[in-house]
Every structure is written in structure tokens, then in C-alpha cells.
């Protein structure tokens, strides 16, 4: 089996192991916020695909992402091209029931921007659900590579250029080091620092912490 096919079966397919984990997390979100179907949710750094695939869908979703908005947006959604660490006033003044973020905090670009991202998540609504992969899970989730997150930058960059299961395959040094430097997994102490008033949930796989979720229910 080739690497592209293997990644598809492990991560990208709707029937993949990762897809099953996403559905499990979606169900967990629904149990935590049982009235989510009536909520206006602001998704910081996400994509509409998350909500198309979700087992539950809010009444209204506002997605904030640096990417260009898609050409077609369903009537229940609104997409804003904006920086979640530096939100424009019309977004900070919006009325939201829940802030949601999935696997974004590790990509925002360093400690100072994580502080700003977390401040936005805490201020936009009384409730939030902010998930990020756990640094000490043995498999680095973006490259599906054992222990890659513990290597020096030089070795991670070389690894990213050659490892066939990466989320964005690249052969150039500049592209690889860009991906590596924009991916910084967090541990529990960091998450508690960014979300001091939140409950910290732990998603486990085979008994090992796989991701951390900062939750405030109101």
C-alpha cells in the first residue's frame, strides 16, 4: 500500500480512524452542550467542512479563518476572512453562544499569539470548547510520525521533506521548515495558563492523552 493510500485510510477517509475520532469528539461536544442545535457558534480557525461532517449542527455558525471564504456558503453559516488573534471590531461585538476551535491553537504562531487567541475565545462568549493535540502523545498527528515533535527543528524539517504521511507533502526546505515552525504542540501547563478558568478535558486513545480540550459551560 502506497503512502497516499495509507494516509487516506488512517486520516482522510470518511471511514478512517481519525474520522471516527472526530465523530467521537463531535458526540462529546453535543453531550457537553446539549442545546448546541439552538446556538450561534463562532468557530475560530475552522472550516465549514467540520460542520458538514459533524454529528450535530448549530442553528448558526460563523467561521473565522485566514483563508479566502468558499464560493458557496450554506444559509446556516457565515464565513469571515480574519485573524482570530486580532479580530475586527464587528466580530468582537457579535453575539455568540459558544466559541469552538479544533486543532488550531498549535498553529497560531507562538506564545504571544496564543495568549491573544485564548483571550478572544474567552471573551466572545460565556461558553467555549477549544481543542488542541497533546504534545506528549507518542504520535505527532500532522505527520503521523512517532516522536517527531521532540526532534530539533533541523531534523523535523528534514523529516517533513521525506516522510510520506505528512498532511501537506513537500520537498523544498523552505516549505518544510515553514510547516514545522508553524506547528507547536502544547502540554497541560500551557493550556491551563491560557485557559485558567476552564475545565480541562482529556481525550484518550489506548489510555494515553491524545488531545486537551479547554471547556467552559457558562
> What is the rounded average pLDDT of the residues 148-173?
90
What phi and psi values does residue 47 have, to the nearest 5 degrees?
Answer: -140, 160
Q: What pLDDT, on the 0 to 100 scale, is given for residue 168?
A: 74
Give the tens place of pLDDT for each residue, 60-87: 999 999 999 999 999 999 999 999 999 9
Question: What share of the chain has pLDDT > 90, as a percent?
Answer: 81
Cα separation, 153 vs 146, whole angstroms: 15
Q: What pLDDT, on the 0 to 100 scale, is given for residue 34?
A: 96
Contacts with 94 (C-beta within 8 Å, 6 or more apart), sequence order: 42, 62, 124
| Stated pTM of the model | 0.91
Q: Exposed (0-12), middle (13-18) or buried (19+): which is 95, by Cβ within 10 Å? A: exposed
Q: Lowest mean pLDDT of 17-31, 40-54, 177-191, 196-210, name the range.
A: 17-31
What phi and psi values does residue 22 have, to the nearest 5 degrees?
Answer: -65, -40
Give the tens place of pLDDT for each residue, 185-208: 999 999 999 999 999 999 999 999
Under 8 Å between Cβ of 102 and 120: no
Q: Is the pLDDT of residue 90 over 70?
A: yes
In the CATH hierarchy, which fold is given to the domain comprising 3-139+185-217?
Rossmann fold (3.40.50)
Beta strands (DSSP E) in the chain are: 40-44, 60-65, 77-81, 98-102, 127-133, 139-140, 145-146, 199-205, 208-217
Task: Return the C-alpha torsion angle 6, 44, 170, 54, nearest 10.
Answer: 20
Q: What pLDDT, on the 0 to 100 scale, is given for residue 180?
A: 96
**Cβ–Cβ contacts within 10 Å for residue 20, how many?**
11
Q: Which residues pair with 129 in a beta bridge?
A: 100, 215
Q: What pLDDT, on the 0 to 100 scale, is given for residue 80?
A: 97
> What is the rounded average pLDDT of the residues 106-124?
98
**Cβ–Cβ contacts within 10 Å for residue 207, how many?**
5
Give the residue extent of every domain in the chain: 3-139+185-217, 143-182
Cα separation, 158 vs 84, whole angstroms: 30
Which element (helix H / strand E) includes 19?
A: helix 17-32
Q: Lowest mean pLDDT of 15-19, 126-130, 194-198, 202-206, name the range.
A: 15-19
Helix (H, G, I), strand (E, B) or coil at 65: strand
Measured in whole angstroms, the distance separating CA 195 from the mean position of its chain's CA atoms is 16
Amino acid at each position: 500500500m502506497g503512502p497516499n493510500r495509507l494516509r487516506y485510510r488512517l486520516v482522510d477517509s470518511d471511514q478512517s480512524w481519525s474520522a471516527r475520532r472526530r465523530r467521537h469528539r463531535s458526540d462529546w461536544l453535543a453531550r457537553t452542550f446539549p442545546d448546541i442545535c439552538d446556538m450561534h457558534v463562532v468557530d475560530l480557525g475552522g472550516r465549514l467542512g467540520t460542520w458538514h461532517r459533524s454529528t450535530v449542527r448549530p442553528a448558526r455558525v460563523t467561521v473565522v479563518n485566514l483563508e479566502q471564504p468558499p464560493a458557496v456558503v450554506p444559509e446556516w453559516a457565515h464565513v469571515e476572512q480574519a485573524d482570530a488573534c486580532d479580530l475586527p471590531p464587528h466580530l468582537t461585538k457579535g453575539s455568540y453562544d459558544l466559541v469552538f476551535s479544533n486543532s488550531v491553537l498549535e498553529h497560531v504562531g507562538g506564545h504571544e499569539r496564543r495568549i491573544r487567541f485564548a483571550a478572544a475565545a474567552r471573551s466572545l462568549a460565556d461558553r467555549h470548547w477549544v481543542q488542541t493535540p497533546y504534545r506528549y502523545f507518542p504520535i505527532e498527528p500532522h505527520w503521523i510520525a512517532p516522536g517527531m515533535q521532540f526532534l530539533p527543528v533541523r531534523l523535523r524539517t528534514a523529516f517533513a521533506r521525506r516522510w510520506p504521511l505528512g498532511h501537506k507533502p513537500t520537498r523544498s526546505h523552505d516549505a518544510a521548515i515553514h510547516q514545522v515552525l508553524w506547528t507547536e504542540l502544547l502540554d497541560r501547563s500551557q493550556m491551563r495558563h491560557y485557559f485558567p478558568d476552564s475545565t480541562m478535558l482529556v481525550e484518550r486513545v489506548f489510555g494515553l492523552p491524545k488531545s486537551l480540550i479547554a471547556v467552559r459551560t457558562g
